[in-house]
């Protein structure tokens, strides 16, 4: 009788403990992304708090964590450098408005168009980026900040690496962190293994007075509550011309990264989040963040993985992570600054291992070569540029490969009927990729006076297909022969204006289909 209550209590406990773990991981990441964008650490921390809180409350994916991200930071840095942080806040507000509009007009559904190889490439590339971002912490004590952004812009070659005992201590603490996270769940699930690892490593470092880098050496995180402020920029068309391109790019990156993370969490949890609601949630969060001095943000796949793997599945996990983060800023900054960086690096390495789709190596020789190429391409482009560019490139290349394959699928069967008419039966889709092959199959000079083209087993998919039919009609008209088109949709017949009265369309057996639908 008490089982539902027990299950609910367990879920609350898991969400709270997972939220604490995520909050600990959010601190150094938010600070690092602030450095990349060229703003103060608190600008990144406020963004992590506000975006994380608002999206957890009204977003479309319970359990997903949002905050300041490197993918957005690398776009922001040039704007901050050229116009200052106030222009960044105005850009974030406009970015949020664009994202809200994307959700209202239900543009989130287009994430369905991302093929599975692109998704695998995105995940693998992101795992590599997260891994590379941690390597900066193996620099000497004088080095600070994570390697974020693109590999080309933040090369590991530029890092002054640790040596000797300092390096061995760092590696040992990272390895111990990973071991605790891996083996603790086999013993108990009472506490998230990532949180336990952070506590144990911090206790060891403090208890034995080990000389290793801590969060406090990266940056101080103490601060007050974020305050409302309208961005101090001129409200002119000139300002709009400056911030709009950045806002559009940031909105696109934020939506793509958030919706792909949503899909990934959906698959792990075997539940379904709302893509359009997520767009609205991200947008509202960014509008608010821009007015409260934050750098904006979107979904964070690394922290989302930490949350889900630690048992955080409800909205409370994201809400508690944001509130814990705020409490760190206000009250516990000195305690958080004592956490060894090695513990957080170990947590992120576990995230890398869990994020990377190792099965992609196994299936490379089993999937079509085009899909394998797209998978590798997206992974490489993710590392060399950013996630949004990689996904866009992957979708375009996948579409071109699909078009190339189906361009060869159209076939024409030629015969004569009892009335002496030449009949062409079309098999396969007629679209921009197959029009050339389609037109090559007809020979107006050799055909009888009466020609019938039957589209019963074909579909005209786009305007290029309609133009091909128009061209064919003109050829037969110039040869003085009558052309009849059967089983052609109403959409096509309305657009066949060039053929004039010489094109006769038999509509008796026409199936009622359309060139495109909004299903």
Has residue 455 got a pLDDT over 90? no
Residue 371 pLDDT: 92
The string of pLDDT tens digits covering residues 502-513 is: 444 444 344 444
Q: At the fourth CATH level, which superfamily is domain 409-506?
A: STAS domain (3.30.750.24)
Q: For residue 146, report the phi and psi dihedrals to the nearest 5 degrees.
A: -85, 155
Contact 91, 246 (CB under 8 A): yes
What is the spatial distance between Cα 307 and Cα 313, in angstroms, rounded to a whole number?
Answer: 8
Band of pLDDT at residue 496, cut at 50, 70 and 90:
low
pTM above 0.95, yes or no: no
What is the spatial distance between Cα 398 and Cα 115, in angstroms, rounded to a whole number?
Answer: 7
Averaged confidence pLDDT in the chain: 84
Q: State mean pLDDT over 489-513.
A: 52
3-state secondary structure of 414: strand
Q: For residue 172, report the phi and psi dihedrals to the nearest 5 degrees.
A: -65, -40
Q: State mean pLDDT over 309-326.
A: 93
The tokens of 35 are what? 């450095």
The string of pLDDT tens digits covering residues 224-268 is: 899 999 999 999 999 999 999 999 889 988 998 898 889 889 888
% of residues, the chain, pLDDT over 90 = 38
Domain ranges of the chain: 3-379, 409-506
Residue 142 pLDDT: 47
What is the spatial distance between Cα 110 and Cα 106, in angstroms, rounded to a whole number?
Answer: 9
Which residues, 6 or more positions from 150, have their beta carbon under 8 angstroms from its beta carbon?
A: 74, 383, 384, 385, 386
The string of pLDDT tens digits covering residues 341-384 is: 898 888 878 878 887 889 899 888 888 999 999 999 999 998 88
The string of pLDDT tens digits covering residues 80-92 is: 989 999 999 999 9
The one-character DSSP state at 194 is: H
């Amino acid at each position: 009788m008490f089982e539902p209550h027990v299950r609910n209590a367990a879920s609350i406990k898991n969400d709270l403990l997972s939220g604490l773990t995520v909050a600990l991981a959010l601190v150094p990441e938010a600070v690092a992304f602030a450095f990349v964008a060229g703003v103060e650490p608190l600008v990144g921390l406020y963004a992590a708090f506000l975006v994380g809180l608002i999206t957890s409350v009204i977003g479309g994916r319970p359990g997903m964590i949002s905050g300041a991200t490197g993918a957005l930071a690398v776009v922001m840095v040039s704007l901050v450098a050229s116009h200052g942080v106030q222009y960044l806040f105005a850009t974030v507000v406009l970015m949020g408005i664009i994202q809200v509009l994307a959700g209202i007009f239900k543009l989130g559904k287009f994430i369905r168009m991302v093929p599975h190889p692109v998704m695998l490439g995105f995940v693998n590339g992101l795992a590599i980026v997260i891994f590379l971002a941690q390597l900066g912490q193996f620099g000497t004590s004088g080095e600070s900040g994570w390697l974020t952004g693109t590999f080309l812009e933040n090369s590991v070659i530029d890092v002054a690496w640790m040596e000797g005992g300092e390096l061995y201590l760092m590696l040992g603490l990272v390895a111990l962190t990973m071991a605790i996270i891996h083996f603790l769940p086999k013993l108990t699930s009472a506490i998230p293994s990532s949180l336990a690892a952070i506590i144990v490593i911090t206790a060891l470092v403090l208890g034995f007075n080990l000389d290793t880098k801590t969060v406090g050496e990266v940056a101080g995180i103490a601060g007050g509550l974020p305050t409302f402020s309208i961005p101090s920029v001129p409200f002119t068309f000139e300002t709009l011309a400056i911030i709009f391109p950045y806002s559009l790019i940031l909105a696109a990156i934020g939506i793509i990264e958030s919706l792909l993370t949503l899909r990934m969490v959906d698959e792990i949890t075997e539940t379904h989040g709302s893509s359009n609601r997520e767009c609205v949630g991200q947008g509202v969060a960014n509008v608010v963040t821009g007015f409260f001095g934050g750098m904006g943000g979107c979904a964070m796949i690394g922290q989302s993985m930490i949350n889900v793997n630690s048992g955080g599945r409800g909205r409370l996990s994201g809400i508690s992570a944001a509130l814990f983060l705020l409490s760190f800023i206000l009250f516990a900054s000195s305690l958080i600054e004592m956490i060894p960086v090695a513990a957080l690096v170990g947590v992120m390495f576990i995230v890398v291992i869990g994020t990377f789709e190792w099965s992609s190596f196994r299936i490379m020789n089993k999937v079509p070569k085009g899909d394998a190429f797209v998978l590798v391409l997206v992974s490489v482009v993710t590392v060399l540029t950013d996630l949004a560019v990689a996904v866009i490139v992957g979708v375009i290349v996948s579409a071109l490969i699909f078009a190339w394959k189906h361009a060869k699928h159209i076939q024409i069967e030629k015969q004569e009927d009892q009335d002496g008419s030449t009949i062409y039966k079309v098999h396969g889709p007629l679209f921009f990729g197959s029009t050339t092959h389609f037109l090559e199959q007809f020979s107006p000079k050799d055909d009888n006076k009466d020609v019938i083209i039957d589209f019963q087993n074909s579909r005209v998919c786009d305007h290029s297909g309609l133009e091909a039919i128009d061209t064919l009609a003109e050829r037969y008209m110039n040869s003085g022969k009558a052309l009849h088109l059967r089983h052609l949709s109403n959409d096509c017949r309305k657009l066949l204006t060039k053929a004039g009265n010489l094109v006769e369309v038999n509509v008796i057996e026409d199936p009622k289909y359309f060139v495109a639908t909004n299903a």
